């Protein structure tokens, strides 16, 4: 730990978005500059610099009902395993405690082994899947959800999460290229990322309608697509893998602090591990 004692924690601002993007791109994550600007303007992003270079980050994004998300825990390659991530995570937890917030995060398997001993409790599990896309032109376009307004998506999300994320979903849906899409009672948000389009959150009454919506979306896309599926929807997962989707990695959702919301039926897919 002595090697990092001289490195202080700073609070980053909107002008640091491109530096943050360099860190997430180095880790092969899908966040784009707009994602970073959202965290930097709507949340608190802590950083550590080595001279002028940003070498580590962690973000605390508050939602409603005293809940917040921790994400963007990143350390550049040659500074890893020296305690920087833990130092920044502690800063997030301290800030959350001062505000009376229950914190959540979606951890990689390696991260979960670190967060568990710190007091994080496992909740649901996620699986990230990738669809490589087609090399041929799209044959059809998904029907825009003209009868499904943003308010409907926010209401479904509030019911599933237990707290309101209207500011997040509104910002994501207004980005260039984002679409609200519905099919047979299922609905989802599709947005751009650094290397792939991303589906989520996705809500449906059953695996069949969720799968039909995914088929509608993939027919309109030629590039790669990512989706983070809640693992308990095993029928939906099986349908996707049978349709050419491949599982990339698992995530473990974890909570620090007491539960402030009642359990509810989870969505079929989440907005992403960075947002919950």
| Residue recorded with tokens 């505000």 | 99
Exposure on the CB side of residue 175, measured as CA atoms within 13 A: 21
| Cβ proximity of 98 and 69 under 8 Å | no
- Note if the pTM is more than 0.75: yes
| CA–CA gap between residue 274 and residue 72 (Å, rounded) | 7
| Cβ proximity of 164 and 190 under 8 Å | no
- Six-digit token pair at 112? 């979960």
φ, ψ of residue 179 to 5 degrees: the values are -140, 140
| CA–CA gap between residue 256 and residue 14 (Å, rounded) | 27
- Give Cα separations from 29 to 9, 85, 109, 154 (angstroms): 23, 17, 15, 26
Structural domains in the chain, sorted by start: 2-100 (3.40.630.30), 127-256 (3.40.630.30)
| Cβ proximity of 47 and 10 under 8 Å | yes
- Residue by residue, pLDDT tens for the chain (276 residues) are 457 878 999 999 999 999 999 999 999 999 999 999 999 999 999 999 999 999 999 999 999 999 999 999 999 999 998 999 999 999 999 999 999 999 999 999 988 988 999 999 999 999 999 999 765 555 555 444 445 689 999 999 999 999 999 999 999 999 999 999 998 889 999 999 999 999 999 999 999 999 999 999 999 898 999 999 999 999 999 999 999 999 999 999 999 988 777 667 899 999 999 999
For residue 2, give the 3-state DSSP assignment. Answer: helix
- Give Cα separations from 118 to 58, 105, 113, 134 (angstroms): 16, 13, 9, 43
């Amino acid at each position: 730990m002595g090697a990092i004692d001289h490195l202080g924690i700073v609070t980053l601002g909107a002008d640091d978005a491109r530096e943050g993007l360099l860190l997430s791109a180095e880790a092969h994550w899908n966040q784009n500059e707009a994602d970073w600007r959202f965290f930097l303007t709507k949340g608190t992003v802590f950083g550590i610099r080595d001279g002028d270079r940003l070498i580590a980050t962690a973000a605390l994004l508050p939602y409603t009902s005293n809940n917040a998300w921790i994400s963007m825990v990143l350390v550049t390659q040659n500074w890893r395993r020296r305690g920087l991530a833990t130092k920044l995570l502690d800063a997030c937890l301290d800030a959350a405690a001062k505000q009376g917030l229950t914190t959540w995060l979606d951890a990689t398997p390696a991260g979960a082994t670190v967060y568990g001993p710190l007091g994080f409790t496992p909740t649901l599990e996620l699986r990230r899947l990738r669809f490589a896309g087609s090399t041929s032109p799209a044959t059809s376009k998904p029907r825009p959800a003209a009868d499904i307004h943003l308010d409907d998506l926010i209401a479904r999300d509030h019911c599933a999460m237990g707290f309101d994320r209207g500011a997040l979903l509104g910002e994501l849906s207004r980005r260039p290229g984002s679409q609200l899409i519905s099919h047979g009672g299922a609905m989802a948000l599709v947005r751009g990322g650094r290397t792939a389009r991303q589906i989520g959150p996705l809500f449906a009454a059953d695996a069949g309608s969720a799968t039909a919506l995914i088929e509608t979306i993939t027919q309109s896309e030629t590039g790669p697509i990512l989706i983070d599926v809640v693992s308990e929807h095993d029928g939906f997962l099986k349908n996707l893998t049978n349709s050419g989707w491949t599982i990339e990695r698992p995530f473990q959702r974890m909570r620090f602090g007491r539960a402030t919301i009642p359990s509810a039926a989870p969505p079929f897919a989440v907005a992403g591990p960075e947002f919950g």
